Amino acid sequence: MSGLPFVSVDELQTQLGERAYLADRGLTTAIYLSLSLAKPLLLEGEAGVGKTEVAKALADLLGRRLIRLQCYEGIDASQALYEWNYSRQLIKVRAMDAATAEQHVDDLFGPEFLVERPLLAAIREGDGCVLLVDELDRADDEFEAFLLEILSEFAVTIPEVGRVAAATPPAVVVTSNRTRELHDALKRRCLYHWIDHPDLEREVEIVRARAPHVGAALARDVAAAVERLRELDLAKLPGVAETIDWANALAFLGAERLEPSVAADTLGAVVKDHEDQHLVGERLAEVVGGDA
């Protein structure tokens, strides 16, 4: 991919940091290679570790439109690629002169009746875009195979229109929370990187970058408490997003340090499961205490 606004991994890491995305060296290198070699980037990791934010930061950095395809159970090709506006076509049919209707059948499949879904929009984006295929593991095997075909050529044939190919292929970020294993064929098409929870120092930096109004002491207290939460046997471990939410909530309430009482009152910002909250409540002193 030509015309990138950076020439090295270090420069890319700096520019991501300027957009409040603090990527470590491994992730930055994966992003750099993905963009330079024009290969999709597959990011896996626990929920809330910043996979989706990579695509958002790249769209800002590259000055491109971000197009997001949110995957879910049951999604199919028509919902991801295109559909025809049947209601509008029906209105057009009723407005046609019965004597000449047959001559204008092709008019029913003009661009004004074509409803773009994310994949077609990404292919037709003239100056390129950043395509985010979010939580692909939620979709089924058939959709994954369909997506692989699209990623191979960035082109699609619409029977009524013809072949549509991308003038500038999009930069592609695919994310997975690993609720199921993605197929090797897709992985071979992509560069791969696993995003783990950050260590304490980096998480403090992330909180300060994303929520600069949060004081340094409070940011460290919260990051340390979340680090201890991840050591507990929770059904849903808090991600970086929850760390930031908790810090924001505490700062909004005027807290300068993380105390047990205010931690208990704001636990819903970081622990999102009823049984988990009960467990954390029993060990709150341990979570908030220590060397925070």
| Whole-number pLDDT of residue 262 | 94
Integer Cα distance of 131 and 68 in angstroms: 6
Q: Looking at residues 110-116, what average pLDDT do you find?
A: 73
| Angle (deg, nearest 10), helices 216-229 and 200-210 | 130
* H helix intervals, 96-199: 118-124, 141-153, 184-189
Please give the share of the chain, as a percent, with pLDDT higher than 70: 89
> What is the pLDDT at residue 7?
93
pLDDT in tens, 157-208: 887 778 889 999 999 999 999 999 999 999 999 999 999 999 999 999 999 9
pTM (2 decimals)?
A: 0.86
Q: Can you tell me the mean pLDDT for 212-228?
A: 97
| Residue among 232, 218, 235 nearest 287 (CA) | 232
